[in-house]
Amino acid sequence: MFHKVVAINRPAIPLLKHHRKTRPLSTMVTTFLVVAGVPLGLYTYKCIMLIAFQNQLIYMGYLPPGSRHNENFKKLIPSSLEIHEETILTEDRKRLHGFIVSKKSAQSASATFIHAGLERSDPIMVYFQGNAGNMSDRFGLFKTALSAVPNMTIIGIGYRQYGNSNGYATESGLKRDAKAILDKIQRKYGPNRPLYLYGHSLGGAVAIDLASTVATNKEKYNIQGIIIENTFTSIYDMVCALYPAYSPYPYIAKYCLWNHWDSDRKIRSLPPSIRLLFLSSKRDEIVPPSHMKQLYSLAQHTHPDNATFVQFERSLHMDIYSTEPRLFQCTLQKFII
């Protein structure tokens, strides 16, 4: 067959003799390009895209579709909850939208107290959400938490570029948002209400960062405790967890990440008087449970008496409150006093 091909080719291309010398080289180059170059090019392209679009990969307020349209969130409100919309302006003039949530029966009493300007000892929980979806997706969690601690007020405000908040999400932007939310609460409720920061996943990093920056101002911000649910040690560690060690990503991430969220560094700077609660899903399919264990072991050095770790045997990344509601509620009750 090979002979046949050669035999057919020879008379058909008179210039073949002239080109014969260069042909193996061009074939080699072509072969190389196809076999190695194309995948290499695609791979480089993928790496560049992963770096260039890291904000889109980390801050996914656009998922699931519809998360940025709040026309019908009222339909999602559980009947036992009293929910008021709240808008907060950040120092760089972004408008954040979210909710003040309380249990219905307790609402009239607390409204009277707020209007009368009395100081109350009821706790406030500031909820920082994970990197996808919006605040109305958390109404179920709020409901479960409020039936455990009925006199608590939960404040859940969407970060910039989440839900109905405008702007573009970045690490420094989300930090600004968290500070603006805390300042608004401080202005609205005064310095006496005990504050608890609750952060799920990326929100845990936001909560830890916020507490580490305001911790020195104890008179102004009455932060009693931080609840961390399935959060990661840092974005870099997440890249290492998502991609195998032999891939170039961990190496690239070391130099090209501009999002850090390094809770493993910041957790050590929290004052020992702020109590820490770690809620960890054993079957977390997104953040390896070892991240929570590591954060806890770091916290044990600075918070020998004030760090608690609770493991949820059957839960996944997002569903502690619905998969193991009893343990979730008991744990919150014990922690929030």
Name the site residues for ligand NAG (rule: CB under 6 A). 64, 66-67, 69-70, 72-73, 120-122, 134-136, 149, 151, 163-164, 272-273, 275, 304-306, 337
Cβ neighbours of residue 336 closer than 8 Å, sequence gap 6 or more: 123, 125, 149, 152, 196, 225
Question: Residue 265 Cβ, how far from ligand NAG at the closest point, in Å?
Answer: 20
Q: Name which of 32 and 113 has its Cβ closer to ligand NAG.
A: 113
Question: Residue 217 Cβ, how far from ligand NAG at the closest point, in Å?
Answer: 16
The structure tokens listed for 152 are 């608590």
Question: Residue 274 Cβ, how far from ligand NAG at the closest point, in Å?
Answer: 7
Measured over the CA atoms of residue 95, residue 101, residue 106 and residue 108, the dihedral's sign is positive
Q: Name which of 163 and 288 has its Cβ closer to ligand NAG.
A: 163
Question: Residue 304 Cβ, how far from ligand NAG at the closest point, in Å?
Answer: 6
Q: Name which of 41 and 272 has its Cβ closer to ligand NAG.
A: 272
With beta carbons less than 8 A apart as the criterion, state whether 158 and 79 touch: no
Q: Name which of 134 and 212 has its Cβ closer to ligand NAG.
A: 134
Q: Which residue is nearest to ligand NAG (CB)?
A: 70
Provide the β-strand partners of residue 83: 101
Question: Residue 273 Cβ, how far from ligand NAG at the closest point, in Å?
Answer: 4
Q: Name which of 163 and 199 has its Cβ closer to ligand NAG.
A: 163
N-terminal to C-terminal alpha carbon distance within the chain: 86
In whole angstroms, give the CA distance from residue 304 to residue 306.
6
Q: Name which of 99 and 321 has its Cβ closer to ligand NAG.
A: 99
Q: Name which of 159 and 236 has its Cβ closer to ligand NAG.
A: 159
Question: At 302, phi and psi to the nearest 5?
Answer: -90, -25
Question: Residue 310 Cβ, how far from ligand NAG at the closest point, in Å?
Answer: 17
Q: Name which of 271 and 289 has its Cβ closer to ligand NAG.
A: 271
Place of tokens 């179920």: 140
Helices (H), the chain: 2-12, 16-19, 23-32, 38-52, 54-58, 104-116, 139-148, 171-189, 202-214, 235-242, 249-256, 263-266, 289-302, 320-323, 325-335
Question: Residue 290 Cβ, how far from ligand NAG at the closest point, in Å?
Answer: 26
Nearest to 179 by CA among 141, 134, 214, 228: 214
Question: Residue 336 Cβ, how far from ligand NAG at the closest point, in Å?
Answer: 7
Cβ neighbours of residue 110 closer than 8 Å, sequence gap 6 or more: 102, 120, 122, 151, 153
